[in-house]
């Protein structure tokens, strides 16, 4: 048995690892790369193997950096099945079509820009206003909707390159027919003499630690894959599994994430008090709290904690707006899977008949017009909006209206990858605060404009869904696993190498693979 590492290797996104035996090829995750547009685009379009060789795909969880390229495989000659937990399969019903919609929208907009610029160069009108009006009439309908047929016709007529999406809504819907959802701890055949068993990873709803067990030449070989490992003692979800079935305890190789391989989070017990402090300080000065949040996982956790703070009377009950159609749908998914909730959630909400994610002050904005009206709201409130790294979506419009007001707070509650707008806001805002907010505020560029970052920027590490290095070491030391060797993945290079050093000091043989590198299992 061998494994080749293709994605999330010395970086965070694009999780993809190929396990191959004498007769099978099993893919662990099929994630999308995220970051700089051009670099990510190039990486995402390249599949390093023919999908037809795969027996199965096993998804650790539904986040797009772990599932986002599935439709690219299934639209080709993939003939296997996609194995995941039931909650992951349910979440992908919304996440994959949403990803496809983003791909199509981005491609359409880039094609529109090419067509518009071409018409501008061809036009001999000296009157710029009339020229732009004619171009708009030709390439748009209803004043703002793109006329896709007209754009494509012009690109074809002038033999201009047409940008195509990574995959379409139709591709995403077709991909969903390949999913098979299973409960935790139920062995599933994924190849000839290869079984897969999923254990709770505690990261997001349905996230799983994968154990692959194979018989090869009369020998038992076992691989573990943490996917993204969650934190201990957080609300809603159960902790990462520490007790594994006897036949799964001896791992020849454990593939382990390292997102926070050299970092410590704030203690989980400090999460609610810190959020309480930030909300009260912002409300006291008449400001709004703007929270860029992942639609799946982080949004629901925020609602849970805010709901509890409101019930306890520790924060004024200001309106809470979830301004993300995707987050609204995924909150319903959370509500339909109480079987994975921890005991505290049952005791705090379910036993008294309350929905953790629904309360009088929370509003789910549906239409674009509702979102536009919300941006102009001046009374103190909370906005939770996607995307979590501020790379797209409605959060950008809220930032445009709120970033230059010092009464407001931008609250960072999740990981911000390198080269994302969220990372720039976090770094620039933190540096400005450290200087005593003296001098001119930093300028943040998005939508081709520069905005002064006058709003306070706060960060709450306690909300992270990823274990820090102490919690990852706790998993290794307190679980009943006997690990032969560890491959460290899913972390920026400095985090991978730092965590590998800690793992080695703890007595585990370790390797930090490079892209395309293969490791033989059971040597």
The predicted-structure confidence for 104-148, as pLDDT tens digits, reads as follows 988 998 999 999 999 988 876 667 778 888 888 899 988 778 999
Residue, of 140 and 352, whose pLDDT is higher = 140
CA angle 71, 72, 77 (to 5 degrees): 100
Q: What is the DSSP code string of 403-453?
A: TT-TT-EEEE-S---TTSHHHHHHHHHHHHHHTTS-SSPPEEEETTEEEE-
What HEC string does 451-487 produce? EECCCEEEECHHHCCCCEHHHHHHHHHHCCCEECCEE
Do 415 and 464 form a contact (C-beta atoms < 8 A)? yes
Residue, of 308 and 143, whose pLDDT is higher = 308
| DSSP symbol at 246 | G
Helix (H, G, I), strand (E, B) or coil at 208: strand
The residue whose two tokens read 């943040």 is 444
Do 492 and 11 form a contact (C-beta atoms < 8 A)? yes
Other CB atoms within 10 Å distance of the CB of residue 210:
25
Q: Which CATH superfamily includes the segment(s) 2-93+175-263+465-520? A: Ribonuclease Z/Hydroxyacylglutathione hydrolase-like (3.60.15.10)
- Lay out the sheet containing 320-323: strands in order across: 362-364, 320-323, 382-385, 289-292, 409-412, 456-459
Do 456 and 406 form a contact (C-beta atoms < 8 A)? yes
pLDDT at 459 over 90: yes
Angstrom distances, CA of residue 373 to CA of 81, 377, 398: 44, 7, 11
Tell me the CATH number of domain 268-463, given options 3.40.50.620, 3.40.50.10890, 3.40.109.40, 3.20.20.80. Answer: 3.40.50.10890
Do 287 and 340 form a contact (C-beta atoms < 8 A)? no
Amino acid 178: pLDDT: 98
- Work out the average pLDDT over 19-36: 92
Angstrom distances, CA of residue 217 to CA of 20, 214, 246, 341, 356: 14, 10, 21, 41, 51
Give residue-wise pLDDT tens across range 51-66.
Answer: 999 999 999 999 999 9
What's the helix, strand, coil split of the chain in %, to 5? Answer: 40, 20, 40
Question: What's the chain's length in residues?
Answer: 523
Amino acid 126: pLDDT: 63
Between CA 83 and CA 208 the distance in angstroms is 11
pLDDT at 35 over 80: no
Other CB atoms within 10 Å distance of the CB of residue 310:
19
Other CB atoms within 10 Å distance of the CB of residue 430:
14
Give residue-wise pLDDT tens across range 175-202.
Answer: 999 999 999 999 999 999 899 999 999 9
Residues whose CB is less than 8 angstroms from the CB of residue 304 and which lie 6 or more positions away in sequence, other chains included = 235, 236, 345, 356, 357
Residue, of 465 and 382, whose pLDDT is higher = 382
- Beta partners for residue 237, in sequence order: 341
This prediction has a pTM of 0.87
Helix (H, G, I), strand (E, B) or coil at 263: coil
The residue whose two tokens read 């994630």 is 31
pLDDT at 512 over 90: yes
- Beta partners for residue 445, in sequence order: 450
Residues whose CB is less than 8 angstroms from the CB of residue 514 and which lie 6 or more positions away in sequence, other chains included = 5, 9, 10
């Amino acid at each position: 048995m061998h494994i080749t590492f293709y994605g999330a290797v010395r970086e965070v996104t694009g999780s993809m690892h190929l396990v191959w035996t004498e007769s099978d090829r099993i893919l662990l995750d099929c994630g999308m790369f995220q970051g700089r547009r051009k670099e990510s685009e190039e990486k995402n379009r390249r599949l390093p193997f023919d999908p037809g060789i795969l027996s199965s795909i096993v998804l650790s969880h539904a986040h797009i950096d772990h599932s986002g390229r599935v439709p690219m495989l299934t639209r080709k000659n993939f003939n296997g099945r996609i194995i995941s937990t039931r909650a992951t399969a349910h979440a992908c019903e919304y996440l994959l079509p949403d990803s496809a919609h983003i791909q199509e929208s981005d491609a359409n907009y880039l094609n529109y820009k090419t067509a518009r610029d071409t018409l501008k160069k061809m036009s001999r009108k000296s009157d710029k206003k009339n020229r732009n009006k004619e171009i708009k009439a030709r390439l748009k309908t209803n004043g703002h909707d793109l006329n896709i047929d007209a754009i494509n016709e012009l690109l074809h007529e002038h033999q201009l390159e047409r940008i195509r999406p990574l995959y379409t809504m139709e591709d995403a819907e077709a991909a969903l027919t390949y999913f098979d959802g299973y409960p935790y701890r139920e062995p599933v055949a994924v190849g000839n003499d290869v079984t897969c068993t999923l254990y709770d990873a505690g990261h997001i709803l349905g996230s799983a630690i994968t154990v692959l067990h194979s018989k090869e030449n009369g020998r038992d070989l076992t691989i573990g894959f943490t996917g993204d490992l969650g934190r201990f003692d957080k609300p809603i979800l159960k902790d990462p599994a520490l007790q594994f079935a006897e036949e799964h305890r001896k791992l020849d190789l454990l593939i382990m994430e390292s997102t926070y391989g050299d970092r410590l989070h704030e203690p989980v017990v400090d999460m609610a008090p810190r959020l309480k402090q930030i909300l009260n300080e912002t409300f006291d000065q008449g400001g709004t709290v703007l929270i860029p949040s992942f639609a799946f996982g982080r949004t629901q956790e925020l609602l849970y904690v805010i709901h509890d703070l409101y019930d306890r009377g520790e924060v004024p009950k200001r309106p809470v707006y979830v301004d993300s159609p995707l987050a609204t749908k995924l909150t319903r998914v959370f509500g339909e899977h109480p079987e994975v909730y921890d005991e505290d959630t049952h005791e705090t909400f379910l036993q008294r008949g309350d929905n953790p994610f629904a309360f009088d002050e929370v509003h789910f904005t549906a239409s674009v017009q509702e979102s536009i009206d919300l941006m102009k709201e001046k009374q103190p409130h909370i906005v939770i909006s996607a995307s979590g790294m501020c790379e797209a979506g409605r959060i950008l419009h809220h930032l445009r209206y709120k970033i230059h007001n010092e009464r407001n707070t931008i609250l960072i509650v999740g990981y911000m990858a390198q080269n994302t707008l969220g990372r720039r806001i976090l770094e620039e805002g933190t540096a400005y605060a450290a200087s005593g907010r003296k001098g001119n505020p930093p300028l943040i560029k998005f939508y081709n404009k520069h905005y002064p970052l006058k709003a306070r920027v706060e960060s709450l590490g306690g909300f992270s869904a990823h274990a820090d290095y102490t919690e990852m070491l706790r998993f290794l030391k307190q679980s009943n696993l006997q690990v032969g060797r560890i491959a460290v993945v899913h972390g920026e290079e400095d985090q991978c190498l730092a965590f590998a050093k800690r793992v080695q000091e703890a007595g585990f043989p370790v390797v930090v693979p490079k892209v395309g590198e293969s490791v033989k299992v059971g040597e």
